[in-house]
Amino acid sequence: MLAIAQVGEAILNRQVQQVTEFSATLTQLADNMLESMMLAKGIGIAAPQVNQSIAMFIMASKPNERYPDAPYIEPCIVVNPKIIACSDELVSGEEGCLSIELQRFVILRHEWVEVRFQDLNGLEHQQTLTGFIARIFQHEFDHLQGITLYERSAMQTESSFGEDAQ
């Protein structure tokens, strides 16, 4: 099992590098990340959370103690992701993070996102994700930008203060 970085570790606040080499090493890292995520009862994990500064994350949702109502989706390895469109509608939902133990945050996310990414073979995929799966994608995508739930929560609080002041 890989050690999961915790808030306060610098790796979690850095932007990552794009993946340029699709190799057995990348596949092994993905396998190790998936194992670590499953053991920690997560539904997603990003490379920075295991001290790797590359643009890769895994989404693998199923009901568990942390997310009893989570839908079941097969593990999806996401490499070099981009959000190419998103809904104007924002939806509030509770989120946790493997890098912030024992805390939950209410976070606004886009209801749907249109995304483009590569798989472990370098093949490109484009999908529209909705609801809970869109939320997972946006959460993990934030990790690749160096944004944790602390920063995302603070951004939402600051923007709501700004709107109230007008």
Q: Is 125 known to sit in a ligand binding site?
A: no
Residue 140 annotated to the active site:
yes
Q: Is 110 known to sit in a ligand binding site?
A: no
Length of the chain measured in residues: 166
Kindly name the residue from 65, 140, 151, 163 that is annotated as catalytic: 140
What letter does residue 12 receive in the DSSP assignment? G
Q: Is 139 known to sit in a ligand binding site?
A: yes
Which phi and psi angles does 84 have, rounded to 5°? -100, -15
Alpha carbon distance 38, 61 (integer Å): 10
Alpha carbon distance 121, 94 (integer Å): 33
Q: Active-site residues: which are they?
A: 140
Binding residues for Fe cation: 97, 139, 143
Binding residues: 97, 139, 143
